[in-house]
A and B are shown apart, each in its own frame.
Chain A
């Protein structure tokens, strides 16, 4: 259980495993897994009927890995019969996340297997894999060349940011429009790529789908927790036991990912995520983390180092979140800059009036946009204010805490 092996992935991200690897089988020892190695590790591809797959996904409670944790069985069941297509979202817009590009770079055949399994079950002919990262794109492209079962598979490189990575933006982009979400919440299973219904999910979701088909319910459920069998890919950042991408069995305590500093602030879920103080009692399980008010999101978990100024980091990311508004919706376009100004003012010692203004604006931005960006950004900012009360008090009293700024949270080039 505590065995942690490490290896350098082709990218600069460190890859490690807690327990037995599934998605990252073969990766930790040898890097990228080619088709022959993939088949030797996992066996031949197993295609399943739609009803079998739906039942199995329900039984193993597979939840989407893009951030919303939507039940994949329900997504599959919502697909109509007739002309449908598959969209594999590997755009990984979350700036702190590395798990999707590591998966595509190191285990591309598992992702493609998942797409083939879904396409077979739904009778879909067209599969589109959308990738932002260059190395991941190259790896999946080369993997597709090794196979004979990928006719009708399109591998598309995208160049869009955080909001552009949301699935409705991705689909608008594929349809030739701007890669921003539409005003009405039209879901992909109603109208997706080319106007046809799309079964769309994150790359890690598809890799798990392949594993469910390969292993069956009992085999898949041999690891993980009862409520959520299987494993998860996390991106760990900053003062953590193993920085980088790690595959863990679901149900492990979050405390196992850290050493020391039991009451330090931790960011769970990414830049649309939640700041908490300490992780006592929390486990890697999407439903229980959501119930605790700190959803796992895209699997990013970050902890600033002791002796650094977390508020500084919160201000930096808040500014970036404000700059990422696509400018479609007024409350987000005007509200997020105002909120990040409030946050910056609090960090240089503004008092309770400014805190009241921030609280009022939080309620003016939340829920008033076409996509999850305003809500997620507000979650990041408001949870920081809630969690970092001691730090805010020090800053209010002295105008600063005198510590060097924490700089563990990455921003895309040019974004900081």
Chain B
């Protein structure tokens, strides 16, 4: 199982992540990501990795959990 983790100290609410991965990420009223559910669907892991790499603040990580 994989999940998307946010480093809140880095996130600057650019909002790119929710455009790249709208299936999982929406934005709150201040523009910060709200991630739906803790486990990523398997077919979304690749897209999630790409999203994490695209984050201008490098605030996202895709972590694998046992």
Contacts and interface: CB of A to CB of B under 8 A. Distances in A.
A29 B28 CA distance: 56
A335 B30 CA distance: 8
Secondary structure call for the A interface = loop
Interface stretch (A138-146, A292-300, A325-333): A325-333
Interface stretch (B5-13, B16-24, B41-49): B5-13
A183 B8 contact: yes
Interface in A310-348: 328-332, 334-335, 338
A369 interface: yes
A329 B30 contact: no
A332 B28 CA distance: 12
Contacts of A364: 28-29, 34
B11 A334 contact: no
Give the contact-size bracket for chain A.
10 to 19
Nearest to A357: B29
Interface string A336-370: 00100000000000000000000000001000111
Interface string B44-60: 00000000000000000
Given A364-B34, A368-B32, A330 B8 contact: yes
A182 B8 CA distance: 9
Secondary structure call for the B interface = loop
A373 to B, nearest CB: 11
A372 B46 CA distance: 31
A328 B30 contact: no
A328 B11 CA distance: 9
Nearest to A180: B9
Contacts of A330: 8, 11-13, 30-32
Contact of A334 (B9, B10, B30, B34): B30
Contacts of A182: 9
Contacts of A338: 29
A335 B7 CA distance: 17
B19 to A, nearest CB: 18
Given A331-B30, A364-B34, A184 B8 contact: no
Contacts of B7: 183-184, 370
B29 A329 contact: no
Contact of A368 (B6, B10, B29, B31): B6
Nearest to B9: A183
B30 A183 contact: no
A330 B27 CA distance: 12
A331 B13 CA distance: 10
Contacts of A332: 8
A330 B28 CA distance: 10
Contact of A183 (B10, B12, B28, B29): B10
Contacts of B29: 338, 364
Given A331-B28, A331-B32, A369-B8, 18 more contacts: A181-B9, A183-B7, A183-B8, A183-B10, A184-B7, A329-B9, A329-B11, A330-B12, A330-B31, A331-B8, A332-B8, A334-B30, A334-B32, A364-B28, A364-B34, A368-B8, A368-B32, A370-B8
23 contacts: A181-B9, A183-B9, A183-B10, A184-B7, A328-B8, A329-B8, A329-B9, A330-B8, A330-B11, A330-B12, A330-B13, A330-B30, A330-B32, A331-B8, A331-B28, A331-B30, A334-B30, A364-B28, A364-B34, A368-B6, A368-B8, A368-B32, A370-B8
Q: Which 10 A-B pairs give the minimum distances between C-beta atoms?
A: A329-B8, A183-B9, A183-B7, A334-B30, A328-B9, A330-B32, A370-B9, A364-B28, A370-B8, A369-B8
